[in-house]
C-alpha cells in the first residue's frame, strides 16, 4: 500500500527534536558521499492572473542507508505585492478551497515503489526551523539564552520551537512589521513554550542585547542591518535579503546551509520572465558571489569548518536554500512511524506502479 498523509498527521508523527537529529545525521551521510543533497529545477511561466507567475518547482534526493528517495514538488501562483513600501513574495492559494499545492513523494530504493505521498507544509516548517537551530547549535555562544525573533508568521513560530529544543532559552524579544500581529504571536506562543516573549515596535529594540537573532520573514528587503549587530551575537536568516550584506561581511564566521545548491538546478522560463531570486542564483549578484566561498552546515557538523572561537565573535548562519535531502531523511522517519502507528490513508500501490516498461 502507498500511504497518503495529511499535514495534521505529519505534525502528529514528527516533533522538532526528531527532525533536528535526523537532519544532522543526513548531513553527515551526504558529507561522506553516502547520500545526495539534492537536485532542483524551477520553471517559471505566465499564468492568466495579472502580475503573477506560475512556478513549478521540483527537487529530489536519495539516501540509500535509509532506503528512500524523495521528490518534492511545488506548484504555485506567485505574486509580488508591495506591502508598507516593501516588496514581498506571496504564494496565492488558488487550489480548490483556497489551498496551496506542495507535495512530497517518497520512494523505496529497494523496490522502486512509491511508499508515501504527503503535503510538504508542516515538514517544510520543521526542516527550515530545524536547520536554523542546527546553525545556532554549531555557531552560537554555548550560554546564549536570549533570542530576538524578526517575524511573527508560520516560519517564525517554527523557529521559536526549534531554538527552544536545542538551547535553554529564557527570553524571546519579538519584532514584526505589524505590532498587533507581533503582540498576538507573543501572547499565543509564550504559554505554549513556557518562555517569556515580549513584542517590540522596532527591530533595533528587539535585537539589542540578544544573544541570537533569528530572522523569519517574507521580506525581499533587508530587515537586520549592520548597525543592529552587537559583539557575541549569532545572527540567522531564512530568506536571501533579510540580513544586510554589510552585516554578513562583518560577521567573524559566516556559514550557508549549502553553497552547491546555489549553482545547481535548472532555471527555465517562458515569455522572457525573470524571477529575482533566480537571477541572483545565476551568479549576477555580488551577495551570492561572496557567499559561494563560505563553509556550509555539513562542513560545521563534520568539523571541516569551525564555528566561533570566542564569545565576542559574531557568527552568521544563512539558511537560504532548501535541500531535498531534508525531505528524504525526515520522510523516512515519518514513513516508519506512520507504518508502526497505522496512520494515513492506504491506497493500492498498483495505482502508482505499472506492468509495462517505460
Smallest separation (angstroms) from a copy of itself to the CB of 30? 9
Give the C-alpha separation, 39 to 17, whole Å.
Answer: 26
Nearest Cα neighbor of 173 from 140, 212, 142, 141 is 212
Among 112, 142, 194, 293, binds a copy of itself (CB under 8 A): 112
- The neighbouring-strand residues paired with 57 are 42, 74
Q: Which is nearer to a copy of itself, 45 or 250 (CB)?
A: 45
Give the C-alpha separation, 169 to 189, whole Å.
Answer: 14
Give the C-alpha separation, 305 to 295, whole Å.
Answer: 6
> Do 265 and 320 contact (CB within 8 A), yes or no?
no
Among 86, 88, 103, 252, binds a copy of itself (CB under 8 A): 103
Three-class secondary structure of residue 40 per DSSP: strand
Smallest separation (angstroms) from a copy of itself to the CB of 114? 6
Secondary structure of 60-88 in HEC code, one letter for each residue: EEEEHHHCEEEEEEEEEEEECCEECCEEE
> Which of the stretches 28-36, 164-172, 240-248, 295-303 binds a copy of itself when contact is defined by CB under 8 A?
28-36
Smallest separation (angstroms) from a copy of itself to the CB of 49? 8
Smallest separation (angstroms) from a copy of itself to the CB of 76? 5
Smallest separation (angstroms) from a copy of itself to the CB of 91? 6
> Do 43 and 268 contact (CB within 8 A), yes or no?
yes
Smallest separation (angstroms) from a copy of itself to the CB of 82? 19
Give the C-alpha separation, 23 to 61, whole Å.
Answer: 13
Q: Which is nearer to a copy of itself, 35 or 316 (CB)?
A: 35
Q: Does 107 help bind a copy of itself (rule: CB under 8 A)?
A: yes
Give the C-alpha separation, 204 to 206, whole Å.
Answer: 6
Q: Does 47 help bind a copy of itself (rule: CB under 8 A)?
A: yes
Q: Does 225 help bind a copy of itself (rule: CB under 8 A)?
A: no
Rg for the chain (alpha carbons), in Å?
20
Three-class secondary structure of residue 350 per DSSP: helix
Q: Does 50 help bind a copy of itself (rule: CB under 8 A)?
A: no
Among 20, 116, 122, 144, binds a copy of itself (CB under 8 A): 122
Say how many residues touch a copy of itself, by CB under 8 A: 81
Q: Does 51 help bind a copy of itself (rule: CB under 8 A)?
A: no
**Interface positions, 227-286, toward a copy of itself (CB under 8 A):** 264-266, 268-272
**Interface positions, 54-83, toward a copy of itself (CB under 8 A):** 54, 56, 58, 60-62, 64, 69, 71, 73-77
Amino acid at each position: 500500500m502507498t500511504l497518503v498523509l495529511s499535514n495534521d498527521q505529519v505534525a502528529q508523527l514528527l516533533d522538532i527534536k526528531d527532525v533536528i537529529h535526523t537532519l544532522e545525521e543526513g548531513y553527515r551521510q551526504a558529507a561522506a558521499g553516502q547520500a545526495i543533497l539534492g537536485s532542483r529545477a524551477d520553471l517559471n511561466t505566465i499564468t492568466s492572473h495579472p502580475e503573477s507567475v506560475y512556478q513549478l518547482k521540483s527537487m529530489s534526493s536519495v539516501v540509500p542507508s535509509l532506503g528512500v528517495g524523495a521528490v518534492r514538488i511545488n506548484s504555485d501562483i506567485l505574486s509580488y505585492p508591495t506591502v508598507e513600501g516593501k516588496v514581498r513574495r506571496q504564494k496565492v492559494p488558488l487550489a480548490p478551497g483556497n489551498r496551496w499545492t506542495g507535495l512530497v513523494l517518497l520512494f523505496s530504493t529497494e523496490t522502486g515503489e512509491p511508499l508515501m505521498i504527503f503535503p510538504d507544509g508542516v515538514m517544510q516548517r520543521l526542516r527550515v526551523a530545524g536547520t536554523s537551530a542546527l546553525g545556532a547549535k554549531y555557531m552560537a555562544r554555548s550560554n546564549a539564552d536570549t533570542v530576538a525573533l524578526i517575524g511573527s508568521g508560520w516560519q517564525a513560530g517554527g523557529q521559536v520551537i526549534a531554538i527552544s529544543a536545542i538551547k535553554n532559552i529564557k527570553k524571546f524579544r519579538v519584532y514584526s512589521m505589524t505590532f498587533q500581529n507581533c503582540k498576538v504571536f507573543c501572547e499565543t506562543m509564550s504559554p505554549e513554550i513556557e518562555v517569556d516573549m515580549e513584542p517590540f515596535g522596532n527591530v533595533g529594540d528587539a535585537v539589542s542585547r540578544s544573544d541570537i537573532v533569528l530572522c523569519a520573514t517574507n521580506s525581499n528587503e533587508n530587515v537586520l542591518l549592520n548597525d543592529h549587530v552587537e559583539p557575541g551575537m549569532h545572527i540567522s536568516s531564512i530568506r536571501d535579503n533579510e540580513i544586510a550584506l554589510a552585516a554578513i561581511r562583518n560577521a567573524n564566521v559566516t556559514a550557508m546551509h549549502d553553497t552547491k545548491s546555489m549553482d545547481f538546478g535548472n532555471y527555465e522560463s517562458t515569455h522572457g520572465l525573470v524571477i529575482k531570486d533566480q537571477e541572483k542564483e545565476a551568479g549576477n549578484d555580488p551577495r551570492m558571489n561572496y557567499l559561494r566561498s563560505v563553509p556550509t552546515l555539513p562542513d560545521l557538523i563534520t568539523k571541516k569548518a569551525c564555528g566561533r572561537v570566542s564569545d565576542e565573535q559574531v557568527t552568521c548562519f544563512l539558511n537560504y536554500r532548501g535541500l531535498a535531502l531534508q525531505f528524504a531523511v525526515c520522510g523516512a522517519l515519518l514513513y516508519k512511524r506512520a507504518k508502526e502507528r497505522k496512520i494515513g490513508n492506504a491506497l493500492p500501490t498498483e495505482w502508482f506502479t505499472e506492468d509495462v516498461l517505460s
